[in-house]
Structure 1
Amino acid sequence: MTYYIKADRFLLEHEEKLGGYLQIEEGRFGEFVEATPKNAKIIDWTGHTIAPGLFDTHIHGINGYDIMDGTSEAVHEISKAILPLGVTRFLPTTLTSSKEDLKQSIISVTEAVQEELTGAKSEGIFLEGPYFTDKHKGAQNPNYFRDPNINEFQEWQDLSGGTIVKIALAPERNKAVEFTKKVTESGVLVSIAHTEGSYECCHELIDSGARNYVHLFNGMTGLHHREPGVVGAALTDSRAFTELICDGFHVHPKVAVLASQVKGDKLTLVTDCMRAGLMPDGQYDLGEFSVVVKDGMAKTESNSLAGSTLQLIEGVKNLQQWSEIPLYKVWHKGSLSPAKSLGREHEIGSITTGKIADYVVLDSNINVQAVAIAGEIKFER
């Protein structure tokens, strides 16, 4: 089916266009024209903005469900819950747990995808752990921490049908370099996280193929003028992407703006959302830990931040408000930059001719009014 969208504003890949018509042809973006197309089907969104679908590359759960529940139902419910929030693509994210629980979670994601998700689409599995170290463990369970093992990873990959696309580890673990080289060669994005490693240690892992830092400033050694640490390595290496949680709790707004200025389009906005997202304050669990959510902030009993309750679109709004960067540039940190980090920018992440037509319809307050995946409206308020 071919149709055109009429709207007041379009957030295209390289610019913002006011007025005009965007073609959707057989589920992909077509040409953008300023004159009214003749004899064409037109969907009129006058008074609205058309933006690319958001891509959350780090999300554990939402609306009472978690990937570590180990059920296909949980994956389906997460997919459905994030679609009205403007998210069209996501990476179901595990955390450090027992071998049995990790296997079951991988199986459940694989089954749900095979059954076909009716909300946001999975672009593959993100394994956050278990190859971490204790000091910056956050809400990861240190009882299961261990050194990277390529045979163990291959077992997980076989279970997933080859759909694990990202794994996080601490670069100071034994055999981290060898593991990174092998896994990167297979097309998996290796990320640095929950580490007390040095600047040099991180640099070596990036040299070995790693290309991402998980939730920048959290779960890692900070920046010092005589020891750059993990944060210094992340900010100064132009090869690496860095995730940022813009909820105002994980990172101070001014520091978030600084990170955005330094990293540019290598900054990816994520949520790290856990099951308490969209839920009221109260007590929840994240893996094997009890978590208390108060005023939207999730913490373990030891007072560590435990994921977030953030919606990705709120992270976009926050960074835009804090930085006063044009909306289309900030929006792309939640759509195009995540796609680039996984080598998927040729298919998704922005409104460009030929790409899959995932788009979001926004009102004047940047609230989601409709969401389409591959050109088909999947949600309308």
Structure 2
Amino acid sequence: MDTVVAAPRALLGRTITGPAGVRIRAGRIEEVVPGDPPAGAEVLTGGLLTAGLVDVQVNGAVGIDFAEVDAAGMLAVARALPRTGVTRFLPTLITAPVPVAVRQARDVLTAAAALPEGSGAKPLGIHLEGPFLSPKRPGVHDPSLMVEPGPAQLDELLSDELLRTSLRMVTLAPEQPFGLEAVRRLAEAGVLVAVGHSDATGEQTRAAAEAGARMVTHLFNAQRPLGHREPGVPGVALVDDRFTLGLIADLAHVGPDVCRLVFNAAGHRVALVTDAVAAAGMPPGRYQLGGADVVLTEDGVPRSPEGTIAGSALTLDRAVRNIVSVGVDVAAALSAATVIPADVIGEPTLGRLAPGAVADLVWWTDDLRPRRVWVDGEVVYDADQDARRPLEAATVA
């Protein structure tokens, strides 16, 4: 039986319009219904209807670190993320020796496969953020575990059948020995290659795009900075339309003015990401990231014991609100959390309200807080009925 969900405003394409609704059949959007809702429609009073949010960089949440996850931990994350509007997410693993990374990835994929239907947000595969990074730009990653992406290392990754079919994204430093060859091989294998934790010059960044790289991981963070003569990674990324720009909009990783600058320069290519770690949705305390300790304090920013920022406690709905707060148009901010990440990860049926798309929906309040969330056409979160404390990151000072 068809269901029509209608709202006074909806994000269609990258424009907010309305009234409009969507006709859902068997977990898919059958039709977009403009104008007044038809008889029998579920009419949402007030607010805004969008596609579900897509987060392509999630290291963990609600106390769970994907480097050490089991079925119960994956279920906890899947149930929690819809409260933030996220309906699909890409589990991310940070730098580890290649054999360890393969084992961790298999554990993540096994836990994902064990998720019962209707449990919440759905994983999209694996994102390996390392170990093919630059020791010059390690961030919180352990430089001693970084290796060159030589043929033997890639063989080890791609020879594992389970990982090969689920490896969606690899972040690497293209200036490292074998870097450009690795970009080409991974891209030819259908893997999204992102430049990150990189000391690449502008010229080397552009060469990575020529070889097939299509994203920049957490723009400005852990990469050669923008200079007025040497553009580094950010400078080329901001002007080269081949790159989608991952942006951690907690306003701590990248300041408000620079977030606004990024949207002014290339807003049609920005993908908001959380880079969330186990501390996301949790009170201040000590958590894990890739097996190492991180500390979440009252300022809401996880850090290593030495003080280096270690991922974030951000949620993607808060990232949207943060970007709107710095003066970015609501439609642009929401597009950066829906259709843009879906497209860059190669998921044309996600992140949009369109015929044939998966019926992942978010009904937002007027102040951009998720009120109800659907995955495959089924409600998985309803703020009016769910008495649990919403997953919230601490306020960033």
Indicate the TM-score class for this superposition, using the shorter chain for normalisation.
over 0.9
Contact conserved, 1:130 with 1:144, CA < 8 A, in 2?
yes
Partner of 2:300: 296
1:134 paired residue number: 135
Q: Which stretch shows the higher mean deviation, 14-23 or 123-132?
A: 14-23
Alignment of 1:134-173 (within 5 A): 134-157=135-158, 158-160=161-163, 162-173=165-176
The residue that corresponds to 2:91 in the other structure is 92
Aligned partners of 1:68 and 1:101 also within 8 Å: no
Matched, 1:47 2:42: no
- Between the aligned partners of 1:54 and 1:6, the Cα distance in structure 2 is 19
Q: Residue 236 of structure 1: CA displacement? A: 1.8
1:122 partnered with 2:123: yes
SS at match of 1:89: strand
Residue 67 of structure 1 is matched in structure 2 by 66
The normalised TM-score by structure 2 is: 0.91
The two structures have a TM-score, normalised by structure 1, of 0.94
Q: Structure 2 matches for 1:10-25, cutoff 5 A?
A: 10-25=10-25
Query: Partner of 1:315 in structure 2?
Result: 319
Q: CA deviation at 1:369?
A: 1.4
- Code of the residue aligned with 1:229 in structure 2: it is G
Alpha-carbon distance in structure 2 between the residues aligned to 1:238 and 1:100: 35
- Structure 1: how far apart are the matches of 2:106 and 2:140? 23
Q: Which runs of 5+ in 2 are unaligned?
A: 384-397
Q: Which runs of 5+ in 1 are unaligned?
A: none
Cα displacement string for residues 117-151 of structure 1 (whole angstroms, at most 9, x for unaligned residues)? 52211122100000111121011111211100344
Contact kept in structure 2, 1:47 and 1:364, CA below 8 Å = yes
Query: Displacement, 1:329?
Result: 2.0
Indicate if the aligned counterparts of 1:220 and 1:230 stay in contact, CA closer than 8 A: yes
- The 4+ residue runs of structure 1 with deviation greater than 4 A are none
Instruction: Give 1:265 deviation, angstroms.
Output: 1.7
The size of the alignment, in residue pairs, is 377
List per-residue Cα deviations over 1:320-340 (Å, max 9, x = no partner). 110241x22210101111011
CA displacement, residues 349-379 of structure 1 (integer Å, 9 cap, x when unaligned):
1111221111011122211111111211122
CA–CA separation in structure 1 for the residues paired with 2:74 and 2:36:
43
In structure 2, relative to structure 1, the CA distance for the partners of 1:42 and 1:134 (3 Å cut) is same
The counterpart of 1:189, out of the listed 192, 196, 202, is: 192
Corresponding position of 1:2: 2
Contact 2:20 2:32 in 1 (8 A): no
Shift of 1:42: 1.9
How many Å apart are 1:104 and its aligned residue?
2.5
Task: Trace 1:328-367 onto structure 2 (pairs within 5 A).
Answer: 328-344=331-347, 346-367=348-369
Q: Which amino acid aligns with 1:322?
A: V
**CA 1:34–1:156 in 2, change beyond 3 Å: closer, same or farther?**
same
Give the equivalent residue in structure 2 for 1:261.
264
- RMSD (Å), alpha carbons: 1.6
Q: Distance in 2 between matches of 1:149 and 1:362?
A: 46
Counterpart of 1:82, as a letter, is: L
- Greater Cα shift, 307-316 or 89-98: 89-98
Query: Greater CA deviation, 196-205 or 72-81?
Result: 72-81
Cα deviation for residue 304 of structure 1 reads 1.4
Amino acid at match of 2:9: R
Deviation string, structure 1 residues 234-266 (Cα, Å, up to 9, x no partner): 112111111000101000101001111111221
1 CA distance for matches of 2:111 and 2:74?
Answer: 6
The answer as to whether partners of 2:214 and 2:243 remain within 8 angstroms in 1 is: yes
Distance 1:378 1:108, change over 3 A: same
